[in-house]
């Protein structure tokens, strides 16, 4: 009888491993499905152009900014002062901005002066365009904040993410977009 018990015990870890693998795959499929649903209205191809004034008063034009970083992918970070998840991603964006071109768009957080105060209070050091009416967010078809748009060197939207995104996730997306040939 002990001979029959040994094979049954040997199968249990294998079944357990398969079940865990299936659970992980289901979780990944759910996360990817939610991301695809959240980004279903985002444009593909050339990034929509926009212009305005940064919180420091400097003029900003997407095409001009991209031209100053020719050959490099760039990151647009959409956030809001009132968004709790944005506060958790800000450190990731700050770290990425040390190595990659980043501009943020502050959604429904007020005009330049209040957004500049938030930037100073939080020690955010990346260029920021106030978007009090979320016009730029709508042009990009984004469902909410935080949102991240990676534009490749050719000016095409390469990656879009909505919600929390890790620093390594941002870095990998930027790196991958930079490896593409225009």
Over pLDDT 70: what percentage of the chain? 88
pTM recorded for the entire structure: 0.80
Mean pLDDT taken over the chain: 89
Q: Where are the alpha helices (DSSP H) in 42-134?
A: 62-68, 84-97, 112-122
pLDDT given for residue 27 in this prediction: 77
Domain coverage including residue 71:
45-179
| 164 and 111 together in one domain | yes
Closest CA to 150 of 126, 178, 125, 130: 178
Dump the DSSP string for 81-101: TT-HHHHHHHHHHHHHHTTS-
| 128 and 60 together in one domain | yes
| 164 and 94 together in one domain | yes
Question: What are the pLDDT digits (tens) for 62-84?
Answer: 999 999 999 999 999 999 999 99
| 85 and 129 together in one domain | yes
- Does residue 180 surpass a pLDDT of 80? no
| 72 and 151 together in one domain | yes
Provide Rg for the chain, Cα atoms. 21
| 85 and 18 together in one domain | no
Label residue 35 by pLDDT band (50, 70, 90): low
């Amino acid at each position: 009888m002990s001979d029959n018990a040994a094979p049954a015990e040997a199968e249990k870890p294998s079944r357990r491993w398969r079940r865990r693998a299936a659970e992980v795959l289901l979780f990944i499929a759910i996360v990817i499905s939610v991301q695809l649903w959240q980004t279903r209205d985002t444009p593909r191809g050339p990034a929509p152009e926009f212009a305005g004034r940064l919180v420091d008063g400097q003029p900003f034009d997407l095409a001009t900014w991209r031209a100053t970083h020719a050959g490099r992918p760039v990151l647009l970070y959409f956030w809001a002062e009132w968004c709790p998840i944005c506060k958790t991603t800000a450190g990731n964006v700050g770290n990425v901005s040390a190595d990659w071109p980043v501009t943020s768009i502050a959604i429904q957080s007020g005009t330049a002066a209040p957004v500049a105060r938030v930037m100073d209070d939080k020690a955010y050091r990346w260029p920021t365009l106030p978007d009090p009416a979320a016009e730029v967010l709508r042009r990009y078809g984004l469902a909410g904040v935080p949102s991240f748009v990676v534009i490749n060197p050719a000016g095409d939207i390469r990656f879009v993410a909505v919600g929390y995104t890790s620093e390594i996730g941002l870095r990998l997306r930027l790196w991958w977009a930079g490896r593409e040939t225009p």
